Amino acid sequence: MNSHEGDVQARITADAVARRSYGKLVAFLAARTQDVAAAEDALSEAFASALADWPRNGCPSNPEAWLLTVARRKAIDMHRARHRHEIAAEQLQMMAEGLDAAATAAEIPDQRLAMMFACAHPAIDAGIRAPLILQVVLGLDAKTIASAFLTSPAAMGKRLVRAKEKIRQARIPFSVPEREELPDRLETVLDAIYAAFAEGWTDPGGTDVARRDLTEETMFLARLVAELLPEEPEASGLLALMLHAEARRRARRSQNGDFVPLAEQDPALWDTQMIDEAEALLHRACIRSVIGRYQLEAALQSAHVDRCRTGHANWEEVVQLYDALFALAGSPVVAINRALAIAETDGAAVALDAMPEIAADVRLAEYQPYWAARAELLARSGACDDARQSYEIAIGLERDPAVRNFLLQRQSALSI
């Protein structure tokens, strides 16, 4: 092998390990010290060493163990350098022992779930939980995360640093909570993953939520949690929900790139494998009869799919599911989608009464789906002028040009 081929091979192996094991290695390195930033630094130095060493000496048979050994040494060196005056001999000892044990074991214990619980701990600001998980488990850089969350990269970087500092200083434990605490704590983890998945998507019907930038990454996280906690129905529910949304991705745009609402989609373009998997997950989750937000949302997706496939109107069932969801999580977002379903069973006038009031939540004033739904309902009840005005605001609030054009067409289709 010449040196160029060696470089290429080293990079390919390093990339593969990074994709497969980045979070596992960070979680393992940081689990005892709670110092995520130090673990990330050590690991990134280990990756740099790998790119220098592997082309010369060949890729190791167990690259994870190799990286862990190097990262461990770097971590201890860095820790020594930083805390020279307050030599925490005991802590160093503990670190060395734990890391040694791991380096000799064939399997690195998977503590990613524990790390996610630390990142989504109630003591961590809710807005930074999802970015933090994306960074520490998947190794995404602040720039990528900032773009997805529409935040300045510099500000995102600072928030991430601060959150890691908080974990270290407050000694937020890397552990999966005990039974009685688990449902509540799990909810914060699932919410963070879903926030990253659904960020920024605003389809008028609320039935096609899907993240544009981070879909693959967040699906990976949802799958990871569902696999590591197979007994938790909400973890399965979230994965089912996301699979349903993702399954319809191809059908959501025409060949010209136009937005296609759910009712007009061609079910033949849906990914049946994903839908089947979602249905199986949902079925398994429901057996445990512990109802929760994500199972209900997945059940709604399932009902929409069933209706579109069979042509059999099931709006009564959909409204019931939204009632249950609203009782559980009375958010204005749920209320909007519930009102749209009510329009199908009881007509637009009843649905308009069921819409949330802006006065109740000022954020609605800048929430595109609220205005799109209102416009739709007003149009159906014949209030064309009001409908036009609501469409106007919905169009102005939309970021996605395809959805914007869809709304513009709806608006111009109104009779004068």
Q: Which residues bind other proteins (CB under 8 A)?
A: 150-152, 155, 200, 365-366, 391-401, 404-405, 408
In the complex, the smallest distance separating the C-beta of residue 389 from other proteins, rounded to whole angstroms, is 8
- Whichever of 196 and 393 has its CB closer to other proteins, that residue is 393
- Whichever of 22 and 370 has its CB closer to other proteins, that residue is 370
Residue 268 tokens, joined: 């033949």
Query: Vertex 124, ends 123 and 128: CA angle to 5°?
Result: 165
In the complex, the smallest distance separating the C-beta of residue 318 from other proteins, rounded to whole angstroms, is 29
In the complex, the smallest distance separating the C-beta of residue 104 from other proteins, rounded to whole angstroms, is 47
Token look-up 């609220």 returns 370
**Sign, CA torsion 17/189/142/124:** negative
In the complex, the smallest distance separating the C-beta of residue 261 from other proteins, rounded to whole angstroms, is 18
In the complex, the smallest distance separating the C-beta of residue 125 from other proteins, rounded to whole angstroms, is 13
347 — phi, psi (to 5°)? 95, 165
Nearest-angstrom CA–CA distance, 133 and 230: 20
- Whichever of 135 and 302 has its CB closer to other proteins, that residue is 135
- Whichever of 116 and 407 has its CB closer to other proteins, that residue is 407
**Sign, CA torsion 209/215/221/226:** positive
- Whichever of 361 and 392 has its CB closer to other proteins, that residue is 392
In the complex, the smallest distance separating the C-beta of residue 340 from other proteins, rounded to whole angstroms, is 21
- Whichever of 152 and 169 has its CB closer to other proteins, that residue is 152
- Whichever of 334 and 364 has its CB closer to other proteins, that residue is 364
Q: 177 to each of 117, 174, 249, how far by Cα in Å?
A: 8, 9, 35
- Whichever of 53 and 199 has its CB closer to other proteins, that residue is 199
253 — phi, psi (to 5°)? -130, 140
In the complex, the smallest distance separating the C-beta of residue 123 from other proteins, rounded to whole angstroms, is 22
In the complex, the smallest distance separating the C-beta of residue 330 from other proteins, rounded to whole angstroms, is 24
- Whichever of 266 and 366 has its CB closer to other proteins, that residue is 366
Q: Among candidates 368, 375, 297, which has minimal Cα distance to 338?
A: 297
- Whichever of 259 and 391 has its CB closer to other proteins, that residue is 391
